[in-house]
């Protein structure tokens, strides 16, 4: 049995995927205007047509496969791609089943299998295009669970992993989102099992978390951070008022932190600032 089937309850699907499914397509302002997007069609194992959007950067620079959070907006996704595009990075955003440009009905239990199919299609696209930049997997909030699950099963194919507003136990995450009355099992039956999966991922991880996250506290997410097996893992705490405000509060430091973390994994050292005389 797929452990995520417990999360296909209408109330949970409504909470975690409704916002993603209904993202506004109106984009204006900021780096979004400079981002050029192309559609990458993906056929799932059950023949459902899924969609990724590719914000193409330089072939030799990193390719970031991004799984969005339940509160992500269209403008926010375009800004993420545009800002990271300043560094030559390619950002590939996944539309979950039943969300955005993807077909089928919204379904949480299908996400891991769909993520596998998306990764396969992205890898084939990178190869067919003759692109040499490494692959980075990134997830935000709900998407962090999908990203970690995928990365844990494809460790050797990735350079590193970026988890923003991640969570430890699924029940605690749902409780933080206001869902407490749905039985999903005890500690040994955790649907996402993020601690176990993190323990199996040996590459470096960048954690980004709000100091005042009311959904998942710093203490809760530290249980997952502690399971990372890489000495190069970083835990960055952002002084924002909420997880939804994390990117705005961090400003340009958010994007440069991601850039520097990835560049270090590629053996690139940040330029030293000249000493003041």
pLDDT of residue 145: 98
Q: For residue 165, give both structure tokens.
A: 């507003």
Q: What is the CATH number of the domain that holds 29?
A: 3.40.50.1820
211 within 8 A of 219, measured Cβ to Cβ: no
Domain of 127 in residue numbering reads as 3-265
pLDDT of residue 273: 63
Residue 29 predicted with pLDDT over 50: no
Is residue 87 situated within a structural domain? Answer: yes
Is residue 209 situated within a structural domain? Answer: yes
Q: Which residues, at least 6 apart from 91, have a Cβ–Cβ distance to it below 8 Å?
A: 54, 55, 57, 64, 66, 80, 81, 84, 85
Interval 254-266: pLDDT, tens: 999 999 999 999 9
Interval 229-252: pLDDT, tens: 999 999 999 999 999 999 999 999
Other CB atoms within 10 A of residue 105 CB:
11
In angstroms, rounded to a whole number, what is the distance separating the alpha carbons of residues 180 and 175? 5
Q: Which residue has the higher pLDDT, 1 or 42?
A: 42
Half-sphere exposure of 26 (CA within 13 A, CB side): 1
Look at the chain and report how many structural domains it folds into.
1
Interval 74-123: pLDDT, tens: 899 999 999 999 999 999 999 999 998 999 999 999 999 999 999 999 99
Mean pLDDT of the chain: 91
Is residue 159 situated within a structural domain? Answer: yes
Is residue 86 situated within a structural domain? Answer: yes
How much of the chain, in percent, has pLDDT values that exceed 90? 83
Cα angle 268-271-273, degrees, rounded to a multiple of 5: 160
Residue 128 predicted with pLDDT over 90: yes
Q: What is the pTM of this model?
A: 0.92
Is residue 276 situated within a structural domain? Answer: no
Using DSSP, state whether 92 is helix, strand or coil.
strand
Q: Which residue has the higher pLDDT, 29 or 178?
A: 178
Interval 210-222: pLDDT, tens: 999 999 999 999 9
Give how far Cα 66 sits from Cα of 38, 47, 151, 197, Å.
15, 22, 12, 18
pLDDT of residue 27: 34
In angstroms, rounded to a whole number, what is the distance separating the alpha carbons of residues 234 and 118? 27
- Candidates 122, 119, 118, 29; CA nearest to 76 is 29
């Amino acid at each position: 049995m797929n452990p995520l089937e417990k999360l296909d309850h209408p109330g949970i699907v409504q909470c975690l995927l409704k916002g993603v499914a209904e993202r506004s397509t109106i984009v204006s302002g900021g780096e979004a205007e400079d981002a050029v997007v192309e559609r990458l069609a993906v056929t799932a194992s059950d023949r459902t047509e899924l969609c990724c959007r590719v914000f193409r950067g330089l072939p030799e620079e990193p390719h970031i496969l991004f799984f969005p959070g339940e509160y992500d907006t269209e403008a926010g996704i375009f800004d993420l791609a545009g800002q990271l595009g300043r560094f030559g990075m390619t950002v590939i955003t996944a539309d979950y089943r039943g969300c955005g440009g993807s077909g089928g009905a919204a379904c949480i239990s299908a996400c891991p299998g769909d993520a596998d199919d998306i990764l396969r299609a992205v890898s084939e696209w990178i190869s067919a295009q003759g692109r040499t930049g490494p692959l980075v997997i990134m997830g935000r909030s709900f998407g962090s669970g999908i990203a970690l699950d995928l990365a844990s099963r494809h460790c050797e194919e990735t350079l590193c992993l970026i988890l923003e507003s991640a969570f430890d136990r699924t029940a605690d995450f749902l409780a933080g989102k206001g869902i407490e009355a749905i039985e999903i099992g005890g500690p040994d039956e955790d649907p996402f099992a993020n601690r176990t999966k993190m323990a199996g991922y040996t590459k470096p991880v960048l954690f980004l978390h709000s100091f005042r996250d009311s959904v998942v506290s710093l203490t809760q997410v530290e249980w997952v951070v502690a399971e990372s097996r890489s000495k190069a893992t970083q835990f960055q705490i952002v002084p924002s008022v909420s997880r939804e405000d994390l990117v705005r509060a961090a400003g340009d430091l958010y994007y440069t932190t991601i850039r520097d973390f990835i560049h270090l994994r590629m053996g690139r050292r940040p330029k030293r600032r000249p000493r003041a005389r």
